[in-house]
Structure 1
């Protein structure tokens, strides 16, 4: 689960990235349309002192604090979208769906929250801008696969999906090659998204990399987040923690970077409250004493499961790949479990 130093495998020249179209994974099931009975209660801070509202024809836009954001309400007052200042991940209400992984957990996540990327970071008043009007009109009722659906396309036995060039961009992912050292971790880390894909990739700063054949179809924890958020959802990626711009390579680099918005501050201790989290947030852990104060694991918050517990998905050595199950530690952020104790911070991209 540790992120170690990024191995450097570069070539020169411009190598074009392969574009893919996202398709809904087999682990996601639509269970019905969103209605009043199924609508989760609004966030506990919708009545924050100092909240302001701006009425338009149609939706109502309300400003909230900590973090600064805009929530959108429909004519009945139900929250239908939330946009955080400085972040591109947006949460919208949509059809109710169920995420299940019976191989590793009995818990399920039943949710009407859909996580999508804005074309640019949100700022106060952006609802009046032309780019947002067009984007929101298209995305508000869309049931095209979102970031949460992408995560499910790499769980155990997930269906292989290929793009027009024959590149398998989805399907059951492993964690990494078997470690030849019997005294070390069972599987090796450092498998990034391009290793899983098996294709060369050129980052925005011109850095070109080639995949390691031994790591084909594998992603470690941070590589998994880069596969889902970067390659699939098109959030900018950096080649390493200290080069280029975009989402860094390792868990520690992601957590400490200026990318996105910190919603649970990194203090070196477990956060006192999880109330600010929303689906799609990255959650960071310090769980390996061998790495010192480095944050050595990252996952994505999914929301409350059917037991009312906050659950996350990540790529793990014990499950040999992406999972939101409980093998090797309960995938919950509360209680006194392995991961709950190691939680240190959260970021909204």
Structure 2
């Protein structure tokens, strides 16, 4: 596992140059974009938080909210600067604004001050008083070390190759998978160890081996397992049944006990029902879709929710056959879950890890 490092500030002109000359995400404090998003809030430690107080009496205050049950940290003006959901390890922290774009595939851009990180333990009511959280929060509050969003965009078209100390490429442009014999459809079941090209031993003791023809390939769930598991260190299962952690397939993840079900699968199989309300979603949630009649009752696609783009549409990034790899692009359907587009009509459930 490569050691993650903080990212230094990049001048706005450099960002514009990257947008013009590359297809991978741009990242920085964009002064020309700040009017499009709420001002970034900085959370600072204070005596009440350091001493284990629950609701603070200073500039910050803790509050409990429902649907789902969660704790939020507010600044002096009442704005939420951090969200922690009961039963989930995912935390959403406010920080410097970033722009995620993929100009080779779409004009959609996400300008966000949300940083999605994985805590070492699931959140419980009152966890702000516990030492593990104080230590974690002190380290990551205001940090610009790569988060879940940064990991995800290190696999889109044009993303540069990054290698670990052993010379194994752990990031860089990923494909969905090789073509089948028909030369039209692409092979699925391409996991993170296929992309890496190295054997991987899971906590259950099972060792799985990469297939040469699938090198640097990630299907939709393989992409999520790379981002959340191999990079962020969420436990991984060797299959949908062996061990605990994140299962192998989209259907396995959707139906697993991992994390918290934010929107549950509803309606009759095999197509289920589109959710009526998606306002409960927050950046970093996993989104699940029913797209293919050939998969029977199975949920067959998973994506990472990014939040609203600059046009106000709720968008995601996922690995797809049509674009041949991780993308927020438009081929095969615009990456939106609002409105009545292709993916919006096939969206079925959501989970917060």
Same fold (TM over 0.5): yes
Q: Deviations over 1:160-218 (max 9, x none)?
A: 00011101000000001111135xx6110010000000111010010111111110000
Partner of 1:6: none
Q: Output the CA distance in 2 between the equivalents of 1:128 and 1:95.
A: 26
> Which of the numbers 263, 268, 272 marks the counterpart of 2:276?
272
> Which structure has more RCO (C-alpha within 8 Å, separation ≥ 6)?
1
CA distance in structure 1 between the aligned counterparts of 2:193 and 2:319, rounded to whole angstroms: 15
Alpha-carbon distance change, 287 to 41 in structure 1, aligned in 2, over 3 angstroms: farther
Q: Summarize the Cα distance change of 1:78–1:156 in structure 2 as closer, same or farther, 3 Å threshold.
A: same
1:233-262 Cα offsets, whole Å, 9 max, x none, are 110100111111100000000000111100
**Residue segments in structure 2 that go unaligned for 5+ positions in a row:** 8-22, 42-53, 267-271
**Residue 5 of structure 1 corresponds to which residue in structure 2?**
none
Measured on the aligned residues, the alpha-carbon RMSD in Å equals 2.0
Q: For residues 238 and 324 of structure 1, what CA distance do their matches in structure 2 show? A: 26
What is the match of residue 84 of structure 2?
83
Q: How does 1:28-43 map to 2 (within 5 A)?
A: 28-32=26-30, 38-39=37-38
Distance, in Å, in 2 between the alignment partners of 1:37 and 1:100 is 15
The 3-state SS of whatever aligns with 1:55 is coil
Instruction: State the match for 1:14 in structure 2.
Output: none
Q: Residues 134-181 of structure 1, C-alpha deviation per residue, up to 9 Å, x if partnerless?
A: 111111110011000111000001000001110100000000111113
Note if contact 2:40-2:96 (Cα within 8 Å) is conserved in structure 1: no
**For the Cα contact (< 8 Å) 1:54–1:61, is it kept in 2?**
yes
Q: Please say if residues 199 and 207 of structure 2, whose CA atoms lie closer than 8 Å, have aligned partners that are also in contact.
A: yes
Q: How many residues align?
A: 319
Query: Matched residue of 2:110: which SS?
Result: strand
Which structure has the highest helix share of the two?
2
**Distance in 1 of aligned mates of 2:28 and 2:215:** 31
**Residue in 2 that maps onto 1:212:** 211
8 Å CA contact 1:287–1:338 kept in 2: the answer is: no
The TM-score normalised by the length of structure 1 is 0.87
Q: What are the residue-to-residue correspondences of 1:178-197 with 2, within 5 Å?
A: 178-181=179-182, 186-197=185-196
Equivalent residue number for residue 177 of structure 2: 176
Q: Distance in 2 between matches of 1:200 and 1:218?
A: 15
Evaluate the alpha carbon distance shift between residue 61 and residue 155 of structure 1 in structure 2; reply closer, same or farther with a 3 A threshold.
same
Separation in structure 1 between the aligned mates of residue 238 and residue 39 of structure 2, nearest angstrom = 39
Per-residue deviation at 1:40? 6.7
Residues 132, 207 of structure 1: alpha-carbon distance in 2 compared, 3 angstrom cutoff: same
Q: Which residue of 1 aligns with 2:115?
A: 114
Q: What secondary structure sits across from 1:28 in the alignment? A: coil
Gaps of 5+ in 1: 1-18, 43-52
CA distance in 2, matches of 1:236, 1:114: 21
Distance 2:36 2:309 in 1: 17
Aligned residue in 1 for 2:12? none
Instruction: Name the CA distance, whole Å, in 1 between partners of 2:169 and 2:55.
Output: 46
1:330 maps to 2:334: yes
Q: 2:2 — aligned with what?
A: 20
- Conserved? CA contact 1:28–1:152, under 8 Å: no
**Partners of 2:300 and 2:134 in 1: CA distance:** 39
